[in-house]
Amino acid sequence: MMGADDTNSDANSGKAAMRRAAIAVVIFVVLAGLLFLFGPDDFYPWAKAIHVIAVISWMAGMLYLPRLLVYHADAEKSSVQSETFKVMERRLLRGIINPAMVITWAFGLWLAWKGFGFQGGWLHAKIAAVLCLSAVHGYLAGAVRKFAEDRNEKPARHWRMVNEIPTLLMIVIVVLVIVKPF
C-alpha cells in the first residue's frame, strides 16, 4: 500500500508534469500564432506539419491508453499496481491525448477550410472518421474516470477489443487522406 508521503509525492509530480504539458501547449500555440501573423502566405505547410505532429501524438496515446486499461482491468482494485495505472492513465489522457486531440481538430479544420473549402467526399468521410475517433476518445476518458473511482466492470477482453478501434479508424483516415478515393 502507498503511504501518505508517496501519495503527496505522486500528486506533486503529477501537477508538475501537467504544468509542463500546459506550458508546452501554450508555447506551441504562441509559436503557431506568430507563424500565422508574420507569414500567413507560408503558414499552410507549417499548419500541415503541426497537424501531422498532433495526429501522431493523439494516435500514440489512443493506441497506448486501451492497452493500459487491459492491464489495469486485471489488477486488483486499490492495489499498488492499480494505483500506478491510475496515475499513468490520467497523465497520458490529460498531458498528451487531450491536448493533441484539440490541436489536431483546430489545425485540421483550418486546413480543410483553407486547402479544400470543406469540399470533397473523401474529406467529409475523413471528418466523419475523426468524429468517430473523438467518440472513442470520449469513451476512453470516461473509462479512465471509472477506473480512477474503482468502478470498472469491463473485463480485460473488452479493453483488448476496444484497443483495435483506433487502429481501424487510423487506417481508414490515412487511406482517405492519401488515396482520396472519392
> Most distant CA pair in the chain: distance in Å?
58
* Cβ(98)–Cβ(89) below 8 Å: no
Query: Cα–Cα distance between 147 and 73 in angstroms, integer?
Result: 8
Is a pLDDT exceeding 80 seen at residue 6? no
C-alpha cell at 84: 500506478
Across the chain, how many H-helices and E-strands are there?
A: 7, 0
C-alpha cell at 157: 477482453
* Among 169, 171, 99, CA closest to 135: 169
pLDDT in tens, 99-140: 999 999 999 999 999 999 999 999 999 999 999 999 999 999
| pLDDT (mean) for 85-110 | 96
- Hey, how many other C-beta atoms are within 10 angstroms of the C-beta on 61? 21
Query: Cα–Cα distance between 9 and 149 in angstroms, integer?
Result: 20
Measured over the CA atoms of residue 152, residue 157, residue 158 and residue 162, the dihedral's sign is: positive
Please state the pTM of the whole predicted model. 0.84
pLDDT in tens, 32-71: 888 778 877 889 999 999 999 999 999 999 999 999 999 9
Residues whose CB is less than 8 angstroms from the CB of residue 179 and which lie 6 or more positions away in sequence, other chains included: 122
Count of residues in the chain: 182
| pLDDT (mean) for 153-182 | 98
Mean pLDDT value across the chain: 91
